[in-house]
Amino acid sequence: MLMAYVDESGDPGNSARSSIAYTLGCVLVRADKWPNAFKVFVGFRRELRDSLQVRLKDEVKANYLLHEGGDLARLHLSFDQRREIYDRHMRLVPQLPARSFAIVINKSLHPGESGAQTIRRAWIYLAQRLSNACGQYDEASLRIIHDEGENREIRRILRKSRHFLTSGSGYGLGGYRLLPGLPLVDDPVPRQSHHSYFTQMADLVAYAGYRRAFPPRRSCVCMEATWFGMGEGIRRETDGTFGDRDGVVIG
């Protein structure tokens, strides 16, 4: 079975105050590799505790590293320390071992689209890539764990994806091909991210994917190059946008 951990970055809204993109980050772990992956993750968090006083129970998310917020605020970490924590998480992905990719919805490409439509677009793109991943990894079942939020809409989209899923065809303009339905084991599971290291990792992957698509104009804890810190942890089979199999899909 393939385990897919998903979290978002940005918001799906289309107001003047909304983010320019809505991104989903996905971390894939094989179920038979999960116990050892968790052991590796806990060892990594102990190293963070010993070197930077980040407790095992502390939630590590992109927004907290960007703005010294959440559980990390008490530490008063320097800019370099926060960047180090981000980079070390990216380098951890292939060690678990896990594979990651991101779906970036560029809202400027879809003017007038509602927040619900943006969420649906992102999750359908994600479902398409997960269908391909299950086929390529020869996995007959899939479990999706996502951060709490739009639980009802996500459940509706993925239930439908069990039975009907299409993808834009590469063989002609406007063409479509039918994909195998998602081999989901029950409904997707909403999870509070502070209870799951892997969901927190998906959050970091989501923001790093966003910054790969939209590089910051000034020095930031997460730069465009941060994405590539995952190395072999990038699921390069995922259709990319830049033509270099980078695992970032922009739609």
State pTM to two decimals.
Answer: 0.93
- What CATH number does residue 183 fall under? 3.30.420.10
Distances (CA, A) of 90 to 94, 115, 134: 8, 29, 23
Could you read off the pLDDT of 197-209 as tens digits, one per residue? 999 999 999 999 9
CB neighbourhood size of 246 (10 A) = 20
Instruction: Report how many helices (DSSP H) and strands (DSSP E) the chain contains, helices first.
Output: 6, 8
Range of the domain at 93: 2-250
Total tally of structural domains belonging to the chain: 1
From CA 176, how far away is CA 168, in angstroms rounded? 5
Could you read off the pLDDT of 124-164 as tens digits, one per residue? 999 999 998 998 889 889 999 999 888 999 999 999 988 87
Distances (CA, A) of 192 to 20, 91, 146, 186: 25, 24, 8, 19
Round the CA-based radius of gyration of the chain to a whole number and report it: 17
Could you read off the pLDDT of 161-189 as tens digits, one per residue? 888 787 654 433 445 566 778 899 999 99
